[in-house]
Amino acid sequence: MESSIAQAIRQIPHGQFLLTAAYDGRRTGVLVEWVQQCATNPPMVMIAIVKGSPIAPLIRDSRVFALCQISANDKLLARKFATTPAQGDDPFFSIRTTTAPSGSPIVQRAAAFLDCELIRHVDLESDCGLYVGMVRHGGVLNGHSE
């Protein structure tokens, strides 16, 4: 039987997002589920990222990241970003992207994107860390996920 805590937590809205970052000629992305708006003036979002993720050093060094909202049915992106790319490989190879003002990749298949400046990183005593970003740019895209 499922605990009442687990049932309550499952009620929190969530979706599928591709978190991206680039720095010093390298770029990568990671699928994340835990994204939440945490302020309106200025607009801010917070994201939970599994510790040890290869995107963490790129965000730390560049101090920016982008968040692409993708369809839960997008099997291409789910497959492409389900595993950590090999050292030196570009996971965006063969995927149509543009570059956000921050330099982070934006996948054209996304429904929307937010381009953020890192405001805070909180190291939690858990399997994830929190990253808070101030939204600098964003938009709704006409991309589609198949």
Instruction: List, as one string, the DSSP characters of 14-37.
Output: --EEEEEEEETTEEEEEEE--EEE
Element (H, E) at 31: strand 26-32
Instruction: Give the whole-angstrom CA distance, residue 66 versus residue 76.
Output: 19
Helical spans, DSSP H, in 2-142: 4-10, 55-62, 75-80
Full-model pTM: 0.87
Radius of gyration (Cα) for the chain, nearest Å?
A: 15
- Asked if residues 43 and 135 have their Cβ atoms less than 8 Å apart, the reply is yes
Q: Is a pLDDT exceeding 50 seen at residue 136? A: yes
Residue-wise pLDDT tens digits, 47-67: 999 999 989 999 999 999 999
For the chain, list the domains and their CATH numbers: 14-140 (2.30.110.10)
Q: Which residue has the higher pLDDT, 105 or 6?
A: 105
Query: What percent of the chain clears pLDDT 70, i.e. is strictly above it?
Result: 92
pLDDT band with cut points at 50, 70 and 90 for residue 80: confident
